[in-house]
Amino acid sequence: AQTVTQSQPEMSVQEAETVTLSCTYDTSESDYYLFWYKQPPSRQMILVIRQEAYKQQNATENRFSVNFQKAAKSFSLKISDSQLGDAAMYFCAYQETSGSRLTFGEGTQLTVNP
């Protein structure tokens, strides 16, 4: 079974600084999808960024980028120019095939200090 591990239960960053959240996963598949979701206190799960395993290029979305290391099964999220609105719980998630279940990590609580 696939597993997703987030080893940092909590992280903090100063406003305008950069922070990196870590994620590792375990799978025997060669093609899959990886995601970072943001969950603010409202509980609404919001997609931040997506990476297809067959793509070597790291995904970027504005201030958010990933460092995808397929051989190491590592998928970290970098948030640049952190803003107060970035404060939330961040979940790393794995998806084996299109539309199948998401397997989530335990989450990292990010605090942004003014």
Partner 1 sequence: EAGVAQSPRYKIIEKRQSVAFWCNPISGHATLYWYQQILGQGPKLLIQFQNNGVVDDSQLPKDRFSAERLKGVDSTLKIQPAKLEDSAVYLCASSLEYLLAGEGYEQYFGPGTRLTVT
Chain positions contacting partner 1, by CB under 8 A = 4, 33, 42-47, 50, 52, 91, 93, 95, 97-107
Q: Which residue number, 16 or 47, has a Cβ lying nearer to partner 1?
A: 47
Nearer to partner 1, 16 or 32 (CB): 32
- C-beta closer to partner 1: residue 62 or 114: 62
Least distance from partner 1 to the Cβ atom of residue 105, Å: 5
DSSP 19-84: EEE--EEE-S-SS-EEEEEEE-TT---EEEEEEETT--SPPEETTEEEEEETTTTEEEEEE-S--G
Structure token pair of residue 66? 């990933």
